[in-house]
Amino acid sequence: MTGRLSDEGVTALHGAGGELMGKFLAERILPLFRLRSAGPIGLDQLDDGAVVDLPPGHLVVTTDNHVVKPFLFPGGDIGKLAVCGTVNDLAVMGARPVALTLGLILEEGFPFSDLERVLRSAAGVLAELGVPLVAGDTKVMGRGELDRIAINTTGIGVAEWVISDAGLRVGDAILVTGTVGDHGMALLAAREGFHLATGLASDVAPLWPLLAPALASGGITAMKDPTRGGLAAALNEMARKAGVGIEIHEEAIPLRPEVRALSELLGISPLEVACEGRAVLSVASDRADAVLSLLRDHPLGQDSQIIGEVIPTYPGRVILDTGIGGRRFLEMPLGDPVPRIC
């Protein structure tokens, strides 16, 4: 009988609407999320949409699709990543996350145990942030039509002051909130079987608790999360948009020794691979030390560093002072050296 809920994995019937779908949602998915509304209509009502009551401020919305291979990786999984990726996009806009939606696309046969694990970790991040999941959707595709799982998340946030990635001013200090390249290199290590040798874990984490005090203290002129393309892409984009130059001191960039070693072994620059729990900040020079010490006060920001400054020359370009004393442009990365990691 096709109406039975498979104990092993999802079937096409789960994504087809109707009774089985309702049962699947009610039994397996909804209970994982503790906070399920941000207004009169939320997840429990299973209405056509959610109603969100907004606090005062600027409404900020962002959306992100996540496909990660492997979907369970050292330091996290696609569920944690899907929540962090979106709330971090809000955070670097200066926005406190208020509500999230989550769309799941699953390959037929995807094990329930893995689904529960992934959603449990997504729910864990939301609970930690006190952010409700207000709407969701699930579709199932046939075997071979999708590689296991894809997750879309849309985040709604509210910002008192919006921070763009283009607000850099000449003289600002450039800060990074922790070691660079951990996420990309950890996934690569896991894929290539180097993981046990390195013990490297993804840095995936929600940034709002780290950034909120620094934002409130004043002086931050621009922020960006260095995800795809890593630090190199984030800095180039910021320099181009603001029409300023950025000078970076290579030896000041925090790097884990295992990330450095792996990057030399594989010929992949750690500055070009994604972080999922870091932010790049441009801060007025007279506020840089204060912001740095606020960042370092938070466990996520212990390794924060001032890595460079905004300069009037070379508008739109990033200059790297190499550790050995040379100088070169840090170019915009070409393509993704490590595909499918966020």
Partner 1 sequence: MSAGVLTPPSGPTFHLRDPDRARALGDLIRRYAPPYPVRIVHVCGTHEMAIAQHGLRSLLPGGVEVLEGPGCPVCVTPTVDLDRAAKLAAAGAVLCTFGDMTRVPGTRVTLAEARAQGADVRVVLSAADAVDVARSLPDRDVVFFAVGFETTAPGTAAVLLDSPPPNFYVLSSHRLIPPALGALLSGPPAPIAGFLAPGHVSTIIGARAYRFVAERYHVPVVVAGFEPLDILYAIALLLRQLREGRAEVENAYPRAVSEDGNLHAQALLARAFVPCDAVWRGIGLISSSGLRIREELAHLDAEREFPVPAEPGEEKPPGCLCSEVLLARAVPAECPLFRNGCTPLSPVGPCMVGSEGACNVWYRYGGRPDL
**Tokens standing for residue 218:** 């004043």
Angstrom distance (rounded) from CA 163 to CA 301: 19
* Nearest distance in Å: CB 260, partner 1: 11
Choice between 112 and 314, CB closer to partner 1: 314
DSSP sequence for 207-251: -HHHHHHHHHHS-EEEEE---TTHHHHHHHHHHHHHT-EEEEEGG
Please report whether residue 147 would count as binding partner 1 according to CB under 8 A.
no
Q: Does 1 bind partner 1 (CB under 8 A)?
A: no
The contact pattern for partner 1, residues 289-328, with x = CB under 8 A and - = no contact, is ------------------------------xxxxxxxxxx
Number of residues binding to partner 1, judged by CB under 8 A: 17
Report the alpha-carbon angle 67-70-75, nearest 5: 100
- Is there binding between residue 335 and partner 1 (CB under 8 A)? yes
Q: Which residues contact 311 (CB under 8 A, 6 or more apart)?
A: 170, 244, 245, 246, 247, 319
| CB 263, min distance to partner 1, A | 11
User: CB of 276 within 8 A of CB of 203?
Assistant: yes
Q: Which is nearer to partner 1, 44 or 264 (CB)?
A: 264
- By CB under 8 A, residue 334 contacts partner 1: yes
- Closest to partner 1 by CB, 275 or 319: 319
Question: Closest approach of Cβ 137 to partner 1, in Å?
Answer: 35
Q: Between 34 and 328, whose beta carbon lies closer to partner 1?
A: 328
Q: In what order do the strands lie in the sheet with 220-224?
A: 220-224, 280-283, 173-176, 305-311, 245-249, 318-321, 327-329
**Footprint on residues 262-281 left by partner 1 (CB under 8 A):** 267, 269
3-state secondary structure of 141: strand
Q: Which residues bind partner 1 (CB under 8 A)?
A: 251, 267, 269, 319-329, 331, 334-335
